[in-house]
Structure 1
Amino acid sequence: MSARAISPALAFGIAAIGIGLFSIMDAFMKALVLSLGVYNALFWRTMIGAGFGAVAWQAGGGGAPSLRAFKLHLARGSVTAVMATLFFWGLGRVPMAQAITLTYIAPILALLLGAIILHERVGRRVVFASVAAFGGVLVLLAGQSRMELGPEAFEGAVAILVSAVLYAVNLVIARVQSQAARPGEIAFFQSTIVTLLLACAAPWFLVVPDAAAWPMLVIGAALGSGSLLLLAFAYAHADTGFLATTEYTSFLYAAVLGFAVFGERVSLFTILGAALIVAACLYAARRPVIGPIEASA
């Protein structure tokens, strides 16, 4: 399946919006994790998301996936199930901005994996932007290392770092998957596979939420599904390493939402680090045009 060419700058912008929706969903999920626990928050949100994905899949023409596409759906869904569980478990234990900062090793790893596995060209502009953005992350860590967050925060940070490694793998699979399936199909199968995998633990952990939690679960699922659709579209039109730099914009959302919703304050180090990250992303967005790749049968 080939994709119609669009400007890489437009693909970058679409991916950035997708990351924004996902970041807003993180705020909903943190509140749900604190009230329902990570398993129930993730299970019910993902199950509702599968319903949104089914609508998008049918709206895009439906049809059974190819064997190649189904294998990719299964691979990404399996990685996502572990990745999301670790991330949201950690998110319930550390401030949002710090949690997002720790995930920023993923785009750097995705650059390397994209070059090694997909044979994508990693231009000097993207490499420089990624290094500059990572420098912003180091500034943030320098400031946040002064905060006393306790042993639970350390355990949460470790879980998020492991999740970030899996997210790098997820980004590379997303690039290949976007060439083999439409966005609606990807959104449906990813949510469905994650739900089915989580359902294996239902006899021990599943609890039906009370009425007050359902609006947040539905909104979180809608945001997650919208993000999946936008990112699937963007990754069909530009390289993994190029689009991976959009991940850095999520820090801005996390800092604002963390303060507004959870009272998590932002330090001067955070502001300086965020400035470096945004500048790096804008620089990366000026990368010369790259067309879509053609998928093999």
Structure 2
Amino acid sequence: MNRVVQHPIQAFAAALAAVGILSIMDAVMKALVLAIGIYAVSLWRAVVTLIMSGALYLPRRLPRPSRSVMKIHVARGVIVTIMAGLFFWGIGRVPLAQAIALTFIAPLIALMLAAAFLHERIGSRSILGSLAAFGGVIVIVLGQARAELGPEVLLGSLAIIGSALCYACNIVMMRHQALAAKPLEITFFQSLTITILWLSLIPFAGMPLWPAGKWWIWIWVAAAMSTTGGLLFAWAYARAEASYLAVTEYSAFLWAAALGWIVFSERVSLYTVAGAVLIVGGCIVAARGKSKQPGEVEVAT
């Protein structure tokens, strides 16, 4: 382990970039779920992501991770599989912006988990930023409450809330994992775990649909975005605390609102705009508060 000094704002920027890339991937995945179904797209994306991450990781012939580190990789892979399955099933039934708004309970839960399990100190600006951003979510939810919700939307919303609870655990695990392994190792073993889990469902669910040619292109695009976002997150979480980086998740709403409107013709209301202002403000408060406090962390090399 080498000690390196990193300005926390760099990690914050990397996490923001990861959120942006993965938000675009969410829109691609929504289109794929609507076209070929959640099971097929999840399995084939997992296989393609494993191929990509393996091509980056295996040629390096690095030592195998220790048993304790492997347990972390597998545990997070299981959490991510459940989280992604619930989320992608949900966004097939819920407008993208509304779905992302529902996930914003995750960073607040992650703040408490980081304090409880990682013994991180929760700064006042991180708390203030999260509360401001969560206030934006409340505004959005109030706006959504004015619309009529069908049973499909309700079930999709419940699935997304379940995914958000998993993601809160995932945020904390990312920090723990990033301090124990390199980004390429994390991405490869997480992809391996996810692929094995989806393949294990074949005896029960049957062989998934083989996508048409045009959908394969988008599956590869989604896999590339997933790999890139994962690498950026691993780099960021090795250099800043989970409680600090968690607030970057709120920026996903801006992407979801724009992509939902452009790609799926999902209307953006004034409630959405007002909530987005609060969300961005919360991110800025958290980033400015931490940027004045560069720190030193241990990073695996």
- The TM-score range, normalised by the shorter chain, is over 0.9
Residues 89/219 of structure 1: CA separation in 2 closer, same or farther (3 Å cut): same
Residue equivalent to 2:196? 196
Residues 45/242 of structure 1: CA separation in 2 closer, same or farther (3 Å cut): same
Classify the secondary structure of the residue corresponding to 1:5. strand
Deviation by residue 1:212-261 (Cα, 9 ceiling, x = unmatched): 21000000000000000000000000010100000000001000110111
* C-alpha separation in 2, matches of 1:108 and 1:50: 31
**Structure 1: stretches of 5+ with no match in the other structure:** none
Classify the secondary structure of the residue corresponding to 2:147. coil
Residue equivalent to 1:132? 132
Q: Which of 245, 248, 253 is matched with 1:246 structurally? A: 248
Q: Which of 230, 233, 242 is matched with 1:231 structurally? A: 233
Q: Aligned runs of 1:173-188 on 2, under 5 Å?
A: 173-188=173-188
Deviation by residue 1:162-215 (Cα, 9 ceiling, x = unmatched): 110010001111100001110011111111101100111123242221212100
Code of the residue aligned with 1:285 in structure 2: it is A
Using the TM superposition, give the Cα deviation of residue 293 of structure 1 relative to its aligned residue in structure 2, in angstroms. Answer: 4.1
* C-alpha separation in 1, matches of 2:6 and 2:299: 17
Residues 238/97 of structure 1: CA separation in 2 closer, same or farther (3 Å cut): same
* C-alpha separation in 2, matches of 1:5 and 1:234: 13
* C-alpha separation in 2, matches of 1:57 and 1:224: 15
Code of the residue aligned with 2:90 in structure 1: it is G
Q: Is the 8 A contact 1:140 1:269 kept in 2?
A: yes
Q: Is the 8 A contact 1:236 1:292 kept in 2?
A: no
Q: Is the 8 A contact 1:58 1:184 kept in 2?
A: no
* C-alpha separation in 1, matches of 2:174 and 2:20: 18
Residue equivalent to 2:295? 291
Classify the secondary structure of the residue corresponding to 1:231. helix
Deviation by residue 1:11-33 (Cα, 9 ceiling, x = unmatched): 00000000100000000000010
* C-alpha separation in 2, matches of 1:235 and 1:174: 6
Q: Aligned runs of 1:1-297 on 2, under 5 Å?
A: 1-2=1-2, 4-58=4-58, 62-203=62-203, 204-205=205-206, 206-286=208-288, 287=290, 288-294=292-298
Matched residues, percent identical? 47
Classify the secondary structure of the residue corresponding to 2:295. coil
Code of the residue aligned with 2:247 in structure 1: it is T
Residues 17/75 of structure 1: CA separation in 2 closer, same or farther (3 Å cut): same
Q: Is the 8 A contact 2:4 2:298 kept in 1?
A: no
**Structure 2: stretches of 5+ with no match in the other structure:** none
Taking only aligned residues, the RMSD between alpha carbons, in angstroms, comes to 1.5
Classify the secondary structure of the residue corresponding to 1:45. helix
TM-score, structure 2 as length reference: 0.95
Q: Is the 8 A contact 1:2 1:292 kept in 2?
A: no
Q: Is the 8 A contact 2:25 2:226 kept in 1?
A: yes
Using the TM superposition, give the Cα deviation of residue 149 of structure 1 relative to its aligned residue in structure 2, in angstroms. Answer: 3.2
Residue-pair matches, total: 296
Classify the secondary structure of the residue corresponding to 2:62. coil
* C-alpha separation in 2, matches of 1:20 and 1:27: 11
